[in-house]
């Protein structure tokens, strides 16, 4: 797959692009490398996806000081304990990872991190190692609230239609914007968050032929992703969260999105890097 090359802008690294039930791809984790150099992690997959595929692309877990969480389903967040452990081992003096999400999602993450075998103490502010070093700081985020991640990077979120506490994220830096839908059914409000963005990364669980299946599991079709991209007037659309049925041939997803969206459409795959 060819990159969308640009002299400036974002580099997007897709560490995992599969749906929760996909056995052909890794679960969702995306790295947004900003024009100013920061690497922002969108979701954390499950297992060691971020560690393995990050390493393959020249990234260390110590690169990820900020993680924007879409929701607390296992395929989007259960990689966090592995990331936390490797950050702490590789650099004991590392500043805590800043974890942003809804109050509901962060409460669930607290439960995940509090398992006795983790070796962590969890409080309302995040997680601490047994020696008292804080390794994760929770940053509850309200919809519409701008969060200044670094001097050159800011983000805000909006609720989407999936589970309680599910949100989409918009990241802005250097005059560019990337929007990540997370998991969602058809959600017209997402078009407001994505308005004028450089890139929309939107889930595409299936085509309209199987839309009842998408509705049953609270996901979107490729056509719905394309409609949001068209409504928002984004520069390009990338589809992700791919299910088993479309792993080997993603063209039906891309073609359906193109039928309702006038801009460029790509379908992500694991370890693909896209420049926008």
pLDDT for res 120: 95
pLDDT confidence band for 6 (50 / 70 / 90) = very low
Instruction: Give tens-digit pLDDT for 51-69.
Output: 999 999 999 999 999 999 9
Please give the structure tokens belonging to residue 159. 């609720």
**pLDDT average, residue stretch 223-228:** 98
Reported residue count of the chain is: 276
The candidate with the shortest Cα–Cα distance to 193, out of 179, 213, 214, is 179
pLDDT for res 90: 87
**Could you give phi then psi for residue 63, rounded to 5 degrees?**
-75, -20
pLDDT for res 5: 34
Please state which of the four CATH numbers 3.30.365.10, 3.10.450.200, 3.60.15.10, 3.40.980.10 is assigned to the domain occupying 11-275. 3.60.15.10
Would you kindly state where each structural domain of the chain is located, as residue ranges? 11-275
2 in helix, strand or coil? Answer: coil
Measure the CA angle with vertex 242, ends 38 and 272; round to 5°: 40
* 121 DSSP β-pair partners: 128
**Could you give phi then psi for residue 78, rounded to 5 degrees?**
-75, 5
Share of the chain above pLDDT 90, in %: 90
Q: What does pTM read for this prediction?
A: 0.95
pLDDT confidence band for 91 (50 / 70 / 90) = confident
pLDDT for res 4: 37
């Amino acid at each position: 797959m060819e990159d969308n090359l640009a002299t400036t802008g974002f580099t997007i690294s897709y560490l995992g692009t599969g749906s929760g039930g996909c056995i052909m791809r890794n679960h969702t984790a995306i790295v947004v490398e900003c024009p100013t150099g920061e690497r922002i992690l969108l979701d954390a997959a499950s297992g060691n996806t971020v560690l393995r595929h990050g390493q393959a692309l020249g990234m260390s877990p110590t690169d990820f000081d900020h993680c924007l969480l879409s929701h607390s389903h296992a395929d989007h967040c259960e990689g966090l304990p592995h990331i936390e452990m490797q950050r702490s081992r590789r650099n004991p003096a590392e500043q805590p990872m800043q974890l942003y999400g809804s109050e509901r999602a962060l409460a669930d993450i607290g439960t995940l991190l509090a398992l006795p075998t983790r070796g962590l103490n969890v409080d309302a502010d995040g997680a601490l190692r047994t020696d008292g070093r804080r390794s994760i700081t929770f940053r509850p985020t309200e919809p519409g609230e701008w969060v200044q991640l670094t001097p050159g990077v800011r983000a805000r979120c909006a609720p989407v239609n999936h589970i309680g506490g599910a949100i989409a994220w918009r990241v802005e830096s250097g005059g560019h914007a990337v929007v990540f839908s997370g998991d969602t059914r058809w959600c017209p409000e997402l078009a407001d968050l994505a308005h004028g963005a450089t890139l929309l990364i939107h889930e595409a669980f299936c085509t309209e032929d199987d839309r009842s299946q998408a509705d049953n599991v609270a996901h979107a079709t490729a056509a719905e992703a394309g409609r949001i991209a068209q409504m928002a007037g984004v520069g390009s659309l990338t589809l992700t969260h791919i299910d088993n049925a479309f792993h080997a041939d993603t063209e039906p997803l891309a073609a359906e999105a193109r039928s309702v969206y006038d801009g460029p459409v790509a379908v992500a795959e694991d370890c693909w890097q896209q420049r926008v």
